[in-house]
Every structure is written in structure tokens, then in C-alpha cells.
Amino acid sequence: MPRNFRKIIPVLFGLLFVGSVLAQTVSFPNETMLSRIERIAEIAKENEKSITYETRFLQGISANSFKTTSESIETWLRLSLENTPLTYRKINAARFIIVRRIDEKPTDGNLAGKITDTFGTPLAGATVWVQSIQKGTITGLNGDYALSLSAGSFTVEVRFLGYEPIQVNSIEISTKQTTRLDVALKETNVSLNEIVITKTLPENSLIGALNAQRNTPYVSSVLSVQEIERSASNTVRNALQLIPGVTSSENGDIIIRGTGGRWNEIALNGIPMPNYDPSYKIFSFDLLPISLVDNIRLLKSSTPDISTSFGSAMIDIVTKDIPEHNFVQLKTEIQLNTQSSFQNQRGRKRGKWDFMGLDDGSREIPQNGAQVPAEHFRIYDRKTPPSQHHSLTIGRTHTLANTNNRFGLLFSISCQNTQQQSVIEHTQRGRWNSIGQYTSNMSDSRNAGFTYGYNTVSGGMFNAGWQFGKNRISLRNILARSFENNLTEISQHLEDIPDDDKNLSRQFFNYPTFSNILQNKLDGKHTIGNNSVQWNVSHTLMKRERKDAAFSEMYKPLRDDSLLYFLHANPQLKEIYPASSGQYANREQNFRMGISAMFPLNRTNRFTFGYDGSYKRIRYEYSELMLRYRDSSMSEIYQTFEQYDFNKTVVEHFPFAMVEHRWNEKFRFVWGARANYESIVKKWDFMPTVNLTFTPAKALNIKMGYRRLVIRPQLADYIPYPVYDTQLLGTSVNRPIRSSLLQSVDFQVEKQMGAFDFISFGLFYRYIKHPIERTTYEYRQDERMYVLQNSNKAINYGFEANVRKQLDFVADADFMRNIQLITGFTLTRSSVEGRRMAMKDKDAFIETESTQKRPLSGQMPYLLNIGFNYSDKNINANILFKRSGRQLFLLGENAHTHEYRAPFNSLEASIGYRFPKSGILLKLGVSNLLNAHEIFYTNTPDDYVRDEYNFPTDNLLPRKTENYDKGRDPIVHKIRGGHTVTFSVSGTF
């Protein structure tokens, strides 16, 4: 064989191999179905085959991309028509006909969303049309719509007179699921029949939550129910922490932009909520089952038509009135905690209906003290069952043929029982003084124990909505009940008892607490020509009762300053020890009404004015019966405290006016003012607001805002009686305080880069005159008191950034396209001019004013969160890491007595799978993966410069900071909660 021929053979084989590979792979891109079939028909014709079709059937349908090694025309048709309302019939080996599917089920899935203009104003009467099946609907008064479709891929066209139509390709509709499509239309001066429909790629369709966030004239964030469902969150509090820049503290307070407490407002369907606890400006999110929530809005600035005053942010929890489709949803959830489930659970005697959060009457204070035997205060041992949550939600909607008139009902009931233990590795809180100070060294004496948590939340919701013509009326009703029955047990060494484990003193805290929330809201919106009128009336009731509240001390002498004591059944306790049973109740009601009207001044300007008013009343009462047990197990009356009954009412008036200007869809200027009158202070305050939005490019917004507002004391701040704080183990006392005056400036740049990609960063500045803060006072050596006070002024400023980005920039693959990075960062700083204790001479202290480079009470300097979400048709997986900086948890009399929470890390993950045919969703989540400790500490006095009396000043020594120094700084409280594993099953039918 010639030498050259031998060289040619490998080359020929290589060419044959390459040609074979190329011939085996056929690929089609994403394209319209008409283009796809036309291409396949041309190839079929070359092979003496034919494809028959009607063009009108193919219009408006998208064909997905695919790759195949088959050269069969039939295989190409099958793959192209898969998951569409079309199929084919094979007449013979050479002829195919494309037809409609005869087994099409038009109610398999749903398309729903909201149509607005580029500034976020709802467009009522816009047309949403699916050309391929000649089916569509028009939007209602709020710009919302719902359309039932079969499972498959569709092209949707959105039109509104005077606006450029948009055509969105490849909208995927899944069985028994709702696909969200929100679209913002751009105004045009061209008549409708002269417009060429613009084609928008699938990734440019707008997602509802990001669209709402971008289109508001103020700075805001929106958390959708879809994002809540695919996370590991099982409570509203946990769900809130999915929003960048939001976290919570030990007592349930929500920290936003680094600040918490009274600087943040909580609203339910736009109505501010009364105080849950008279000691704090906080709200118990456990009162709201997660299944009742449609979305959560976080407002960081405002416009005059928003009827609440908040210093940092407002959380608005929104429930739905008209569902998109008929459904029944069942959900059950089980939680296991590594240090709680099936372990020993201690507690006092329980009522028959505690598991349901209902009161069986067994905790009422008896009329006769002799009816309370010592056995009444006994503590029992039980096993901790898994925590569980069950809910049922039913939605019904009806749309009248050929109109946009819709009527809907939404009903939901839910019950959640959580039993988990927190390990108290050390605490310095309470009415006693330990030996020395604990700094986490092994030789230090500790006061350790447990909090045996028991919490039940049950609730229901009934909402109804009616949309007819240019009118919409909604009725929302929520009733929820929470029962908390935690027992805290602490073992301690006392100064006057030898340091011996056999001589441990013990404290027991048990405050069974029933809480109720009831809200009824009726609101309406009406359009008359180009004008619109909105109105609402609401009633909110918050009721909290602590029944048979008990605190006991074993081996410790009685102290007469305590609010309540009782005898724990123990043979070593002798005759002089008294016992008590206390009952405390606060009830706050709020009646509100509001009305507003909007009048267009011309095409680009409109004027809105209105009025909001409220009537609030609060009632607080408590009574205690102190008993003494001698040698008998039955009691005799030792002392009876007088029953206090406190009542206070307030009337508020909030008239407002607002003007909105628009220029060339580039500028949006909203300005106006709200006046405020309160009957307690009997004073009018003027609160102007200015917001400017500049849109230099598509989906790019630059927002600037200014606000001046007054933050009044809450009704609970006027309660003159001491209230015992079961979290901080000390007494809260109110004293006269004045309103805070706040001026704020916000600046934010935000860019939406696609359906899921979003980036924003901003700056904020707050000047607060007379900020209200809670200060810790050492009432006596072993008794803490928490007192409200006005500092002189404070400056608070910071930076925040938020990024959501799909990872398709790493690699152009479907898998990476399904992964989204979610990250946020907040940086906050403050300077407070307040008061501190200084030594006047060697024997006396005086309160002096000073400028302190410290945070506001409850503030933390930074918050970082990084998360990844993977999402495809059937699988959702999440992992979220969050780190919060040290928090000024409690303000002390001096810098070295400020109590901080050390920097805290948290990590949670979840994965969910939805069965495509049944719609059943399985979800597994794990929280507190790091099993991190929460450490509360004070700085050692040795870190501060001393004055002439050798007393620590506010100035730190060189190279010293307020950061936690392990082994050096005294620990006030240290706890850990264990890992929690959650498994849930839900189905929508």
C-alpha cells in the first residue's frame, strides 16, 4: 500500500466521523411556532413529505428550543408541539396535519398579574389577549387581571388606548399553578392602529414584586408570596428577614436599616396595629399565620397619602380579596428541633384547650385565697412533641361573561403549635446578684438554665371582593389568637450562700399569656370619568391577658419590691414564704376612617386630597393576690394589692393634600403635606413630603425624597404602673415623654435588568429631635428598671445596597440561568446628644447632658445577607446566610453599662419539589444550621478613660472598641436554640 494512501486513510475516517456527528445533531432555537413549522415544512418538502396547517392556529404560540439526533420529521413535530395547545395527526408516512388538541383542559393553569403605566399607576380596562386560542380578558380597577389557560407556552399581547402595546413571548403556564405577568406600558401620542407591536423577550416580562417596588414614588421593597413559599420561612417574622436589611432581636423586635422599636411601624392591610406589649413598640408576628399573607411591603419613605408616621420604615402585611382562580389549599408542617424534640419539657399545669390557644377558665384568680393550695404551683415534667402547623385555604372567584366584573371570596383557617427549648448558658438578668462576673472563662461562676417554650397560634381570615364596572369594594376580616406559656428556670449561686451545687438557688418564671387580634376593614375605589375616589373604614382590637402569672424563688429571702412571688412546692421551703397569683390585661381598640379623591389637572399632572381620622382607647388593669403557706398545704391571705384600672383615649385628625407632576416619562415629582392633630397634646403639626423620581433610561430609576414628621408617644406609653418584663427580667416604668420630631432625606438608584435581575443602592439621613429611648437603671444592686426618656437629639445616617442576579453571566446554560444570587448590605451610623450619669463627688451622682458617639437604642452598625435560589418548573432550593453587627440592645446609664448583642451569624437552607401532575409540594428546610449562640454583654469598665474620681467616662482607651472581647467583657445573657428541621406537605386543588 502506498505510503501516502496510509496517511490519507486516518484523514478520511476523521472526516467521516465528523460528518457523522454533525449529521446526528439537529437543533432548533426559541422562536415563534409559525416560523418553526414553516422551516420544518420546507425540509419535509425536500424529502417528498407534506405538512398541512392553518396559520391562525399557530399565531401567538411559542416553540421551545431543542436538540435531537433524529432526522425524522415526525420527531421534530412532536418535540416542537410538546406542551402547547397543538398536536399533529399522521395521515400516512408522508403526510401530517397540525390540529388543536381535543383533550385540552382550559382550566389547567392560570395567568394573572397587573398592568400599569411606567410610573406604576394601574390601567383599568387594558386588554390581555392570547392570539393562538382567541381568548383574553380586560383589567379591573386596580389594573389586575386573571385568565385561565391550558398548560403550555403562549404569546400574550397587552394593549391599552394611548399606550404602546407589548407582546410577550414564551409565557409558560403550568398545571394547577398561577403564572405571574406584570407589564408596564409606555405612553404614546400615535393612534393605536398605526403602532407596530413591539416584541419583548421572555426575560423582559416584569415580575410583580420588583415591578411594584420600582414603580412607587417612594423607596420601598416588596416580598411576594411566591418568594415566601419557596423559602424555609414558616412564620411572618422569619419571612420578613428575607428582605435585605431586615432582621429581628431577642424580644421579637424587627430591626430595619439598623434601627428598631418605635422607629418602625407595623400595619395590616394599610392599617397601623396597636401595641402588642405595653413595654415596647413591637408587634407579635406570631399572631398572623403565614398562610394568610399575600405579600409584604416595606416602606422606607412615604408620600402624604400614606396615613402613618414612621421614623425608619413601615411593614405593611397585605392579604388578598379576590383570588385569581378557584382553589382549595391544604398544608401540614412538622418541625423537629435537635435540643427540644422528644426531650424533657417542664411546665406548670396546663389547661384543657392550651393546644388550640383557648382559655378553659382554670387560670382565673379565685375569690378566696384559701382555694389555692401549694400544689397549684407545682412544675411537671413532660416530653416535648414535634412542633406542627396545619392550614386550610379556600378561594372562589366568579367572572361575568364578556365583562370585567368579578366577585371573589377567600377563607382560611390555621393552627400552629410550637414547643422548643432555649438553653441559657448564663444570665445576669433578674432580681439577684451572682458571684462576680461571667466572662466565658471556665472558672467563672455561671447562672444557667432553660426556657421551655410553648406557643400556639390559631387564626382565620374571611375576605371578599366585588369588582363591577369602574368600582371595586373589598371586605377583609382577620381573627387570630396566640397563647404563650413559656417557663424559664434558672439555677444560680448567691453571694450569701456557699458556692456549692447542693445550695443552688432557683428562679421560675411563668406568665401564661393569651393574645387576640381582630381587624375588620371595608374599603372601596370608584372611578368617575377621569377622577377617582377611595374610602375605607376599619376596626382593630388588640387584647392581651396574662393569667395566673407566677414567679418563684427557692432558698432566697423575700424582697418586698417584686411585683409577684409564689411558693414552688418544695419540702425545704418553710413557713414565712408567701405565694401569689397575678393577672394583667391590656386592651387597645382603634377605629379609623379615611377618604380621598384624585383629580387630573391635565394629561401630566394630578391633584389628590383627603382626610384620615382615628379614635383610639386603651384599658390596662392588674391585680395580685399574695398568699402565705405555713405548715399547711392550704393558703391564707397574706396581702392583697389594689386593683388598678387605667383608661385613656385619643382622637387624631390627618388631612392631606398631594400634587403629582410628570414630564416626558423621565421625571415624576410628588409633593404635598399632611397635618396632624392629637387630642392629648392638643396641637397641630405640619408635615411636608417631597419625592422626585428621575428615569434617565429604561428600567433605571433615581429616587430622592424628603420628609418632616412627628412621632407621638403611643397610648401604652401613658400607663403609669410598673410592668414586669418577662424577657429582660426587670420592671418597665413609664415617665412623661414628649413627641419626637424627625426630618429625613432618602436617595436611591435602582435598575431592573430583567425579569429577575435587580440592583439598587441608596443613602439615607435622619435628624431626630427628642428621640424616645428606653434606658436601663439599676434601681438597687440586684434590681433592673427600664425607663422611657427623651434624649436631646440624634443624627442617624447610612448606606444600603441590594442585588438580585441570575448566574447566566457565569455560563450560558439553563442550570446557571435558574440560579439567582440575592445579596444585601446595610451600614448605619449615629451620633446622639443625650444624658449620662457623672460623679459629682465621691458620694453622689448627677445626670448630665453629653454628646455620645453611640447608636440609637436598638441600633446595629451593619447587616449583611447573601443567598442563592435555584428554581425550575418543579424544584426550588434556597440557602441564605445573614450576619448582623453588634446591636446596642439596652441603653445603660453610662457607656460601660450599655448592653450589646454580639455579632450574630445565621444560616438556613430549604429545598422543595412540586409534583407536576398533582400539584403537591414537598418542602424540607433547616434553620440555624450554625447553631450560633446569642451573646449579650457589657464592655468592661477597664476599657474606658477614668475621670478625677476614678469613674469610667464615655471615652474609650486607645485601641479599645465596643466590640465583644471574649474572656474579657462581662456576659449578661447567653443562649442557644439548636437546629430546626421543617418538613411540609401542601397541595392546591
Quickly list DSSP for 258-269.
TB-GGGEEEEET
Q: State how far the Cα of 686 lies from the Cα of 656, in Å rounded to an integer.
A: 10
Task: Give residue-wise pLDDT tens across range 650-700.
Answer: 999 999 999 999 887 788 899 999 999 999 989 899 999 999 999 888 778
> What pLDDT does residue 15 have?
40
Q: Name the least confident of 205-219, 370-384, 419-433, 818-832.
A: 205-219
477 pLDDT above the threshold of 70: yes
pLDDT, greater one: 799 or 206: 799
For the ranges 81-95, 429-443, 719-733, the lowest mean pLDDT is seen at 429-443
Cα 438 to Cα 969: distance, rounded to the nearest angstrom: 8
Quick one: average pLDDT of 259-278? 77
Confidence of residue 340 (pLDDT cuts 50, 70, 90): very high
Residue 5: pLDDT over 50: no
Please tell me the distance from the alpha carbon of residue 911 to that of residue 875, in angstroms, as a whole number: 7
Q: What is the mean pLDDT of residues 873-879?
A: 85
What cell does 90 get?
A: 399522521
Q: Are strands 198-200 and 166-173 parallel, antiparallel or unpaired?
A: parallel
Answer for the pair 455, 421: CB distance below 8 angstroms, yes or no.
no
Cross-strand partners of 693: 668, 703
- Residue 592 confidence (pLDDT) above 90: yes
Compare 497 and 527 and report the one with higher pLDDT: 527
Which is more confident, 443 or 576? 443
pLDDT (0 to 100) of residue 215: 66
Question: H-type helices in 47-161, by residue range?
Answer: 55-58, 73-81
Which pLDDT band, with edges at 50, 70 and 90, does 566 fall under?
Answer: very low
Which of 277-286, 450-459, 777-786 is predicted with the least confidence, judged by mean pLDDT? Answer: 277-286
Q: What is the mean pLDDT of the chain?
A: 78
pLDDT at 672: 95
Q: Name the band, by pLDDT with cuts 50, 70 and 90, for residue 195.
A: very low
Give residue 278's pLDDT.
53
Q: What is the pLDDT of residue 252?
A: 65
- What would the pLDDT profile of 884-907 be if each residue is shown by its tens digit? 999 888 888 788 888 899 998 989
> Could you tell me the pLDDT band of residue 385, with boundaries at 50, 70 and 90?
very high
Lowest-confidence pick of 52-56, 301-305, 701-705 = 52-56
SS (H, E, C) 409-468: EEEEEEEEEECCEEEEEEECCCCCCCCCCCCCCCCCCCCEEEEECCEEEEEEEEEEEEEE
- CB contact at 8 A, 41 and 51: yes
The grid coordinates listed for 770 are 427628642
Please write the tens of the pLDDT for every residue from 156-170.
Answer: 888 887 777 887 777
Say whether pLDDT at 839 is over 50. no
- Per-residue pLDDT at 2 exceeds 50: no
Q: Could you tell me the pLDDT band of residue 864, with boundaries at 50, 70 and 90?
A: very high
Q: What pLDDT sits at residue 561?
A: 32
Does the pLDDT value for residue 467 go beyond 60?
yes
Q: Averaged over 177-181, what is the pLDDT?
A: 75
Q: What is the pLDDT of residue 11?
A: 43
304 touches 229 (CB < 8 A) = no
Cβ neighbors of 306 (< 8 A, separation 6 or more) are: 218, 299, 314
Mean pLDDT of 837-847: 53
What is residue 289's predicted lDDT score, i.e. its pLDDT? 62
For residues 970 and 941, the answer to whether their CB atoms sit within 8 Å is no
What is the average pLDDT across 815-828? 87
For residue 583, pLDDT over 90 is answered with no
In this prediction, residues 111-125 reach a mean pLDDT of 76
C-alpha to C-alpha distance for 307 and 295, rounded to whole angstroms? 19
Higher pLDDT, 117 or 985: 985
**Which whole number is the average pLDDT over 520-541?**
91
User: What pLDDT does 745 receive?
Assistant: 94
Crossing angle of helices 33-46 and 73-81, rounded to 10°: 170
- Distance (Å, rounded) from C-alpha 581 to C-alpha 295? 42
The share of the chain scoring above pLDDT 70, in percent, equals: 78
pLDDT tens-digit readout, 928-956: 899 888 999 998 888 888 887 788 888 88
Residue 266 pLDDT class (50, 70, 90 cuts): confident
Is the pLDDT at 742 greater than 60, yes or no? yes
CA angle 488, 489, 492 (to 5 degrees): 135
Type of residue found at 444: D
- pLDDT, tens digit, for every residue of 208-247? 555 556 667 777 777 776 677 666 566 677 777 777 778 7
Q: If you search the block for the grid coordinates 401595641, which residue do you land on?
A: 275
The arithmetic mean of pLDDT across residues 539-563, rounded, is: 66
Binned at pLDDT 50, 70 and 90, residue 572 comes out as: very low
pLDDT at 747: 93
